[in-house]
Amino acid sequence: MHHLGSSVSISSLQAVIFDLDGVLVDTARFHDQAWAELGLGLGYVLTETDRHAIKGRSRSDSLEYILEQAGWNDADTSQKSKWLHAKNARYLELVEALTPHDAAPGTLVLLEQLRSEGIKTALGSASQNAIKVLQKIGLETCFDTVVDGTRTTRSKPDPQVFWMAAQDLGCEPGNCAVVEDALAGVQAALEGGFLTIGLGDASVLGAAHRVVQQFSDLSVQGIKAWQLAFNHNKS
């Protein structure tokens, strides 16, 4: 007799929302470099702690953080906008060298497998350069929706970017997974009620429900199983 035991379950995973910088492509190092150079121009050497503190946050929030650390408390709006422009110009110079070979290994395969199982995909990025970066790495048509820093009004760790993505897809946050490399992004996804998968250093991202070291550690079966456990733990 065929027995339908408790191991036979329907996964509730409906969508996976991917962060961009540091997840789908290693551009986090370009942001780091551009901020480090700007910091040096202000006479301030960014530390590892600073790097993690600004990672995943919007351009303007990152600048505010650096100015505070560097003791520049009296900069006016026009000076700040020059620094923001300079940082972005440097970042765009660095991004120019990207090609489709720079997409994280396994990205296209994972996106294709998710699609073939009827699981939707989204990009959820704080960056205002997300479309440009997606074009450089050849992924601009690969997502069901793209939410980036040109659409949001609140920066990670606020969950807005991920909520907008879930809403675009018509999915409840509790049935979506978020893949994030930054502490601010992990906090946003947790606050937003998503299954939260950290990508990178577990000592930094340990608050996430799961942490993997590299993109190729992700699989559809794995994410579905994590989603089941996530939903089970809630009930």
Half-sphere exposure for 191 (CA within 13 Å, toward CB): 15
Return the H-helix or E-strand segment holding 122.
strand 120-124
Judged by CB under 6 A, the residue of 107, 121, 127, 187 near ligand B16 is 127
Buried b (16+ CB within 10 A) or exposed e, 114-123: beeeebbbbb
DSSP state of 111: H
Angle at 35 between CA 192 and CA 80, to 5 degrees: 90
Residue 182 found at the interface with Mg ion (CB under 5 A) = yes
21 is catalytic: yes
**How many residues interact with Mg ion (rule CB under 5 A)?**
6
Selection from Mg ion, ligand B16, none that 173 binds (CB < 5 to 8 A by kind) is: none
Backbone Cα Rg of the chain? 19
Residue 152 found at the interface with ligand B16 (CB under 6 A) = no
Residue 148 found at the interface with Mg ion (CB under 5 A) = no
- In the complex with ligand B16, which residue's Cβ is closer, 154 or 231? 154
> Which listed range, 71-79, 107-115, 127-135, 213-221, lies at the site for ligand B16 (CB under 6 A)?
127-135
List of E strands, 3-111: 15-18
Q: Which two tokens stand for residue 181?
A: 């490399």
144 is catalytic: no
For the chain, the maximum distance between any two Cα atoms, rounded to a whole number of angstroms, is: 77
Judged by CB under 6 A, the residue of 14, 16, 31, 69 near ligand B16 is 31
Residue 39 found at the interface with ligand B16 (CB under 6 A) = no
In a 3-state reduction of DSSP, which class is residue 71?
coil
Task: Report the site for Mg ion in 2-41 (rule: CB under 5 A).
Answer: 19, 21-22
Give catalytic residues, as residue numbers. 19, 21
Q: State the residues that interact with Mg ion by CB under 5 A.
A: 19, 21-22, 56, 181-182
> Binding residues for ligand B16, per CB under 6 A?
19-22, 28, 31, 55-59, 62, 88, 125-129, 149, 182
